[in-house]
Amino acid sequence: MIKLSIEETVINEKLLKLKSSSGSHSPSIFTLAKKIDEIKISIDACFLSNPYATDVFLDYFKKELLDTGKLRDCLEFYPSQNYIIAEYISKIINVSKEYIVVGNGAIEMIQTVLHNFVSENILINIPTFSSYYEFLNSSTRALYFELNKENDFNLNVNEYIEFVKKNKIKNIVLINPNNPDGGYIPYEDLLVIISSLKELDNIIIDESFVHFAYESEELEMKSVANLVSSFDNLVIIKSMSKDFGIAGIRCGYCIMNKERVSKTIRNGFLWNSSGLAEYFFELYSRKEFLNQYEVVRRRYIRETQIFLQGLESIPQIKVYPTKANFALVELTDGTKASTFVAKLLLKNGIYVRNCNDKIGLKGEFVRIASRTYDENRAIIKAIKELFTHREE
């Protein structure tokens, strides 16, 4: 069991205070470093992004915007209107642009869908990403469908469908793969759910982590985005922050039926993007960039698999099955999650997420993201040492 020294306990108090003032999200590494002098972060395994994809984007950014002076245009002028940027996305995902709204991050689209199209009740699988219950209209009731650790947080499709029908659920949300556990619903199962629940108002599927998931050794990804033209109640939410490693420029989108798209754009989302976001989506629609991205996507998935194996070899923790770029980890030797997070941060400069604020989790849980190959090795080495070199 890991224990904190007196000095560490004092800093940990500050850390916990900062965390509780950040609501249901973790304070960023910049906030931590600014507020607590003693903290030096070298690896951010709290944020869930592919660092290699950030590198690819930065190369283009430097070559095409910085070195040419075109960055000025991005900053000085208005970006294009929503439906123009949607055309880029349309080309990539093969969904007609009338079904697409571009968001200033996916979070903006989650907020607007919940506020404008979701009423009465919504079924949310727990553990979950908190925005799906925090942004609900006050008159909408959140109902929870518990994914159990005894079941490795797997969704039992038949039980789920039965529950939805029996409880007169109007709206559902499925994050696939799920955050924070990484649980994945295979494409065929999703199809069963979608086609069995046509009477619902909304089937929201958040595919923010789908680029990290795979169903075979070929590692190809499977999206349900192109089903929106067949299912009027289907709403796909997609963030680009994690798979492209560009959270700072706020890129996301939503795919849903045409009436909802035009209503949303008329309601104030005509100019919600930024010059940099537009640059990203234009870049994303280019074959050359996509090919480079695909290389680093696959590389990152393979390295994540190695990382997960490394974590699984540590006897004091249980790593739950994941198809995302992170793992939900349970501390099984009596160590508190807050102690583990503080120790790893103060001793090794490694930041992981304490999951004690996640509803539906019973036990001591942390979420650890996969980073670069070298960083992943450093994370595993550090965790192993924490458990073996016990300090009094």
Ligand X SMILES: *Cc1c(COP(=O)(O)O)cnc(C)c1O
Q: Which residues bind ligand X (CB under 6 A)?
A: 105-107, 129, 175, 179, 206, 208, 239, 241, 247, 252
191, two tokens: 């199809």
Cα Rg, the chain, nearest whole Å: 21
Minimum distance of ligand X from residue 1's CB (angstroms): 31
Closest approach, Cβ 89 to ligand X, in A, equals 13
Nearest C-alpha neighbor of 149 from the set 285, 282, 269, 329: 329
* Min separation Cβ 327 and ligand X, Å: 14
Q: What distance in Å separates the CA atoms of residue 195 and residue 173, rounded to the nearest whole number?
A: 15
Q: Which is nearer to ligand X, 132 or 307 (CB)?
A: 132
Closest CA to 230 of 261, 260, 190, 194: 194
Helix (H) or strand (E) holding 148: none
Residue located via tokens 């959140």: 142
Task: Give the CA distances from residue 137 to residues 53, 132, 351, in Å, rounded to whole numbers and listed in that order.
Answer: 36, 11, 33
The distance of closest approach from Cβ of residue 381 to ligand X in the complex, given in angstroms and rounded to an integer, is 27
d(CA 354, CA 109): 26
CA distance 376 to 279: 31
Nearer to ligand X, 110 or 194 (CB): 110
Nearest residue to the partner ligand X, using Cβ? 105
Minimum CB–partner distance for residue 34 and ligand X (Å): 21
Q: Which two tokens stand for residue 307?
A: 């990382």
Q: What is the DSSP letter of 364?
A: -
> Can you tell me the distance from the alpha carbon of 205 to that of 224, in angstroms, rounded to the nearest whole number?
8
CB of 314: closest distance to ligand X in angstroms?
A: 25
